[in-house]
Amino acid sequence: MSFNGTTSDDIMADFKKNKFVVAPDYLGFGPTMVILTDLSFWSTKYTELGDWCSAHQCTMSGMTVDVPDDPTLTLFCLKWS
């Protein structure tokens, strides 16, 4: 079975359109956890993402990034969108 990328067929379709999503509050991770959803983006930008995280006091763990505050989250979104 193949998916044509519509949300009626693939519940992850909306996430796959983006490089990352900010975890919603109701998941309990807080508003400053970023989940990288594009494996290709993560693998090609891994070193650059790590350097950016170190420079901005963020913690990258696998395909998640913990951001310390809202202003840094805004910087992340502007940089990597």
pTM over 0.85: no
What residues does 64 pair with on adjacent strands? 35, 61
The tens-digit pLDDT sequence of the chain (81 residues) is: 444 555 556 666 666 678 898 888 788 876 689 999 888 899 999 999 999 999 999 999 999 999 999 999 999 999 998
Whole-angstrom Cα distance, residue 56 to residue 65?
11
